[in-house]
């Protein structure tokens, strides 16, 4: 599959960025060049905003029920083109095909929720005192922009694209510079579905483009998904420019393994969580806290992890820099006294020696103060910390600055409830390795994993992408007044 040059999408047309700076897009599967793009300038963003403002004013006048009709058609196009879209993700991101296909399936699910928005966006009307009525309605913000990461080239953009546009906004997508190809096909399919020009736009670039989005006065809201370091910067910069902002950062997700856990369920779910998408997801299992004697379950987990093979059941990581960083974490843990049970360093795939691969790695006897147990590694690496009690395990989880996800594996409902009640995380799971809420529930963590209020998906996103207008009315209560009779008498 050959790819065309990646371009911006402005007012329904593809147009190259006006900067002379050119970026190459490299497939992490084999290190080969896929295509290029020209970086964008503030002039490119200005052009997008001008056309988006005009398009949004007309779109806002269309009823919500009519607006979502576009997304019924778009959903069908996603389904029809699923195979091609899957291959694109595989090539530019490095995921195995089944994971890439699951990403398209999730984008379809998110689009289905957008189609259901007329059932959720309800105004209110109430008589608050005698003869006085208050009503509320949801009004679009105007132009919203989303800055998205490399790890889900299609799914994460669909967290915001479909809901934001269905709710009456115009939209600007800034894809990751590492994986901008999928967004080109999103633009094509939205246009084919009948979305009016100017409502969905793409601007390609790097740090400067992100800064321009945060600074542009014509953009009313910004969402960001990426590292905590950058999430803080985006949140502060865009907020200082009086924008509505929701910035999702990194994670260090903990799984508490109790001795009574179902061995097969626990092992299969934990292995899938730590290795799925090569560990490059903010919901991946990163630190396993084994409470008491869990050796039998851990032995099974080791055996199940050994079955995973790079290039077939495990994809690549995104870049050589990522590979080097992940392997450095493993080496440091080993130097600090942790035991490397399975070592994924220096992994290569035959025929793809220039690809960026890290094999599944299990590190036992890590301690809570080690970087491998505290920091986001973002790779197929699981650190095992051993403790004696649930409260010791929860103390480790609570002390971590992130707060995205926490799961517990047990067959005891009381202990499961105790863990979910006391965990310091926005998304908790019981016997689930990746506790992602499904629509209409929203996706969002706590603490250093989220900056801003609300969730980025589900019903909670309605409040982010709209503003509420309240109207209070009172009429003359004079009995017997008939204005029609009064003004028609001669």
Domains along the chain? Answer: 8-249+449-472 (3.40.605.10), 254-430 (3.40.309.10)
Q: What is the pLDDT of residues 267-287, one digit of tens each?
A: 999 999 999 999 999 999 999
Query: Which of the following is catalytic: 214, 282, 406, 428?
Result: 282
- Residues 99 and 273: beta-carbon distance below 8 Å: no
Place of tokens 């959720």: 120
Q: Is a pLDDT exceeding 90 seen at residue 486?
A: no
Cis before 440? omega within 30: yes
Residue 123: the pLDDT is 81
Break the chain down into helix, strand, coil percent, rounded to 5: 40, 25, 35
Non-local CB neighbours of 196 within 8 Å, separated by 6+ positions: 12, 55, 58, 59
Q: What is the pLDDT of residues 423-463, one digit of tens each?
A: 999 999 999 999 999 898 989 999 999 999 889 999 999 99
Q: Is 277 a catalytic residue?
A: no
Residue 478: the pLDDT is 64
Question: Global pTM?
Answer: 0.94
Instruction: For 413-449, give one letter per residue: b (16+ CB within 10 A) or e.
Output: eebbebbbebbbbbbbbebbbbbebebbebbbbebbb
Q: Is a pLDDT exceeding 70 seen at residue 489?
A: no
Q: Which two tokens stand for residue 127?
A: 């008589």
Residue 169: the pLDDT is 98
68 versus 2: the higher-pLDDT residue is 68
- Residues 199 and 52: beta-carbon distance below 8 Å: yes
- Residues 421 and 222: beta-carbon distance below 8 Å: no
Q: What is the pLDDT of residues 138-157, one digit of tens each?
A: 999 999 999 999 999 999 99
Q: How confident is the model at residue 344 (pLDDT cuts 50, 70, 90)?
A: very high
Residue 339: the pLDDT is 98
Residue 2: the pLDDT is 80
Burial of 334 (0-12, 13-18, 19+ CB in 10 A): middle
Q: What is the pLDDT of residues 113-128, one digit of tens each?
A: 999 999 999 888 998 9
Q: Is a pLDDT exceeding 90 seen at residue 482?
A: no
Q: What is the rounded CA–CA span in Å between residue 45 and residue 213? A: 8
Instruction: For 173-190, give one letter per residue: b (16+ CB within 10 A) or e.
Output: bbbbbbbbbbbbbbbebb
* 3 state SS of 318: coil
Q: Is a pLDDT exceeding 60 seen at residue 6?
A: yes
Cα angle: 136, vertex 139, 142; to 5 degrees: 160
- Residues 261 and 433: beta-carbon distance below 8 Å: no
């Amino acid at each position: 599959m050959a790819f065309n040059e990646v371009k911006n999408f402005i007012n329904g047309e593809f147009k190259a960025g006006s900067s002379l700076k050119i970026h190459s897009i490299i497939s992490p599967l084999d290190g080969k060049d896929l295509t290029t793009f020209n970086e964008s300038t503030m002039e490119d963003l200005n052009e997008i905003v001008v056309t988006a403002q005009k398009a949004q004013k007309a779109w806002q006048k269309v009823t919500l029920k009519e607006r979502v009709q576009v997304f019924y058609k778009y959903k069908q196009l996603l389904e029809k083109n699923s195979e091609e879209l899957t291959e694109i993700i595989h090539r530019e991101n490095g995921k195995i095909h089944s994971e890439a296909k699951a990403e398209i399936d999730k984008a379809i699910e998110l689009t289905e929720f957008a189609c259901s928005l007329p059932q959720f966006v309800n105004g209110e009307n109430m008589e608050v005192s005698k003869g006085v009525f208050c009503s509320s309605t949801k009004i679009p913000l105007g132009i919203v922009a989303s800055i998205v990461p490399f790890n889900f080239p299609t799914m994460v953009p669909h967290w915001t694209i479909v809901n934001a546009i269905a709710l009456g906004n115009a939209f600007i997508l800034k894809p990751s510079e590492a994986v901008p190809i999928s967004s080109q096909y999103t633009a094509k399919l939205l246009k084919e579905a009948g979305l009016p020009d100017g409502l969905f736009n793409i601007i390609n670039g790097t740090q400067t483009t992100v800064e321009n989005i945060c600074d542009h006065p014509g953009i009313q809201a910004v969402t960001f998904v990426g590292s905590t370091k950058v999430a803080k910067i985006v949140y502060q910069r865009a907020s200082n420019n009086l924008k509505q902002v929701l910035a999702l950062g990194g994670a260090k997700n903990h799984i508490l393994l109790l001795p009574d856990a179902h061995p097969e369920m626990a092992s299969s779910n934990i292995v899938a969580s730590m290795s799925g998408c090569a560990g490059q997801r903010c919901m991946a299992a990163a630190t396993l806290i084994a409470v008491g004697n869990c050796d039998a379950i851990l032995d099974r987990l080791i055996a199940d992890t050994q079955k995973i093979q790079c290039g077939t059941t495990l994809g690549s990581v995104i870049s050589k820099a990522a590979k080097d960083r992940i392997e450095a974490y493993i080496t440091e843990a080993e130097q600090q006294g942790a035991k490397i049970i399975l070592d994924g360093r220096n992994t290569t795939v035959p025929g793809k020696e220039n690809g960026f691969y890290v094999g599944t790695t299990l590190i036992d006897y890590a301690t809570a103060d080690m970087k491998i147990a505290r920091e986001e590694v973002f790779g197929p690496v699981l650190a095992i910390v051993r403790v004696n009690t649930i409260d010791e395990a929860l103390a480790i989880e609570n002390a971590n600055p992130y707060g995205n996800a926490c799961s517990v594996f047990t067959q005891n409902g009381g202990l499961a409830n105790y863990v979910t009640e006391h965990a310091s995380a926005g998304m908790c799971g019981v016997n689930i390795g990746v506790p992602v809420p499904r629509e209409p529930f929203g996706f969002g963590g706590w603490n250093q994993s989220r900056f801003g209020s609300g969730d980025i998906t589900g019903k909670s996103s309605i409040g982010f992408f709209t503003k509420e207008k309240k109207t209070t009315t009172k009429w003359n209560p004079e009995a017997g007044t008939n204005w029609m009779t009064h003004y028609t008498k001669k």
